[in-house]
Amino acid sequence: MTSKTYSARKVNEIILDSMLKGREGQDLWIGVDVGKVEMQAVLNWGAGDFERPWKIANPRAIGKLVEHLKQLAVGRKLIVAMEPSGTYGDALRQACQDGGIVVHRVNPKIAHDYAEVFDGVPSQHDGKDAAVVAELSRCGKSTAWPWTTSPEREQQMEYWVDRMDNQRRLRQMWCGRIEGRLARHWPEVLMQLKLTSVTLLKALREYGGPAGLAADAQAARKLKGWGKTSLTSEAIERIMSGAKATMGVRQQAMDLLRLRDYAGEALAAREKLKEARVRLRKLSRGHKAMETLSGAVGNATACVLFVYLGDPAKYHCAAAYVKAMGLNLTERSSGLYQGKLKISKRGSSAVRYWMYLAALRLIKSHSPVRPWYLRKKQRDSQEGARALVGIMRRLGLALYHVGALGEEFDPRRLFPGRRRGAIEMQKGA
């Protein structure tokens, strides 16, 4: 195709009668490049036989496009192919499904790599991208992609997973703002209570800062009520002493209001996060895939994995499951990074965050994974990030075997060490 061939025409101006002359019964592949406000479609009748791109306003002209597709499909095999592009192409997929039009999906990586092979230049633009997608579909490099709706239970689970992760982010944001303010006005309390502590958040919502707490004769009793059994008398005494003798900057009226507001928002996010966890626990009962994953990484992480990645049994191997998590290693060479391996970070970042939390739980004091983590951290000059990523990758492989193959999760198998037989053979040599 030449550059002039890529000049697009509006779909409303297309007249099919002249286009269809002499093409009775000829198969047709249509590639669509999906954009937020505009799509382009290219018709491919065979090797090197393309029509000029059609310009389709998204979603205003989708109805007109489907009318043309229905007319084109009469008496011939017709496939509409597109790349996955978030939610911008969903309206077209649904309209094609309603109109009886077959839709296929083309892998974006394959389309990107084929761009230079297609016309000898690596450049990409909407018209060319649509032609590339059509060509790949004609060559059998696309798969069926019908529009389907998930069962009600899975839709509810997707909603509560999204809500849970959003509230987790909100709580993290508010706690980050609280940390900055406490470092100025009450730095001593940060050594006694965690930022996510209910006791700290409720104390800030009540008093707004150390002065109010120190002046309240009932403050110790309130702290005990908020902290319950987890807060000892000695800890309460240290908190009270720090409030009375704080070296922090004296607060003004707006400083008190700000911290009360931040604490209230953090507590609200915490309650909504807790509600989402309870809902997900109920929804996952009796669900085989999630119950098996829950035994390894907990119910919340299992629900996140299922919503974003689907059932592990649908993947052909453990490496494919880890790749879907974005934890597969890829070589990156640019600037300071020459030939270094880094995780690809493909897919949803929520999956990697919850896998990160699962990895943190695995390195607690009595975990069999902890010795490997400490050795790896020492080799990396006390930097634990690589060790945690290593645990996440091994955990992803293990979760495939647990969820897809029904094996029992055993953290000792993540890093089993050298086998005794291999060691004995080396000694004998």
Structure tokens at 85: 């592009």
CA distances from 57 to 35, 64, 133, 200 (A): 9, 10, 19, 53
Residue at a domain's end among 144, 168, 201: 144
The reply to whether 316 falls in a domain is: yes
Region of residue 345 (phi > 0: left; psi between -120 and 50: alpha; otherwise: beta): left
Q: In this structure, are 296 and 243 located in the same domain?
A: no
Q: Are residues 69 and 197 in the same domain?
A: no
Q: What is the pLDDT, as a whole number, of residue 5?
A: 59
Q: Tokens for 374, please give them.
A: 């400490």
132 and 51 both lie in a single domain: yes
Specify the pLDDT at position 289. 86
Does a structural domain hold residue 361? yes
* Closest among 181, 167, 187, 183 to 257, alpha carbons compared: 181
pLDDT along the chain (429 residues), means of 10: 68 90 93 94 93 94 96 95 90 96 94 84 82 95 94 95 97 97 96 94 96 95 91 93 95 97 98 97 92 93 95 94 93 65 89 96 88 92 92 96 93 74 44
CA angle 319, 322, 324 (to 5 degrees): 110
Say yes or no: 199 and 295 in one domain. Answer: no
Q: Give the CATH number, domain containing residue 109.
A: 3.30.420.40
Q: What is the model's pTM?
A: 0.84
- Torsion angles phi and psi, residue 329, rounded to 5: -90, 135
Question: Which residue in the block uniquely carries the two structure tokens 């036989």?
Answer: 49
pLDDT at 192: 92
Centre a 10 Å sphere on the Cβ of residue 22 and count the other Cβ atoms it contains.
6
CATH number, domain at 180?
1.10.287.4070
Same domain, 324 and 369: yes
Distance CA 61, CA 54 (A): 11
Q: Are residues 270 and 298 in the same domain?
A: no
Q: Is residue 419 part of a domain?
A: no
- Split into its structural domains, the chain has a count of 3
- C-beta atoms surrounding 12 within 10 Å: 14
- Cβ burial of 256 (10 Å; 0-12, 13-18, 19+) is middle
Same domain, 32 and 62: yes
Give me the domain span that covers residue 251: 153-281
- Cα distances (angstroms) measured from residue 68 to each of 29, 37, 50: 13, 20, 16
- Assess whether 321 and 406 both reside in one domain: yes
323 with 402, same domain: the answer is yes
DSSP state of 209: S
Please answer whether residues 305 and 351 qualify as being in contact, where contact means their C-beta atoms are separated by less than 8 angstroms. yes
Residues 106, 167 within the same domain: no
Examine residue 307 and state whether it is found in any structural domain, yes or no. yes
Strands (E), 58-154: 78-82, 102-106, 142-144
Which conformational region is residue 335 in: left (phi greater than 0), alpha (psi within -120 to 50 degrees), or beta?
A: left
281, 311, 328: which is the final residue of a domain? 281
Residues 133 and 161 occupy one common structural domain: no
- Which of 115, 144, 173 is the endpoint of a domain? 144
Instruction: Tell me, yes or no, whether 123 and 189 share the same domain.
Output: no
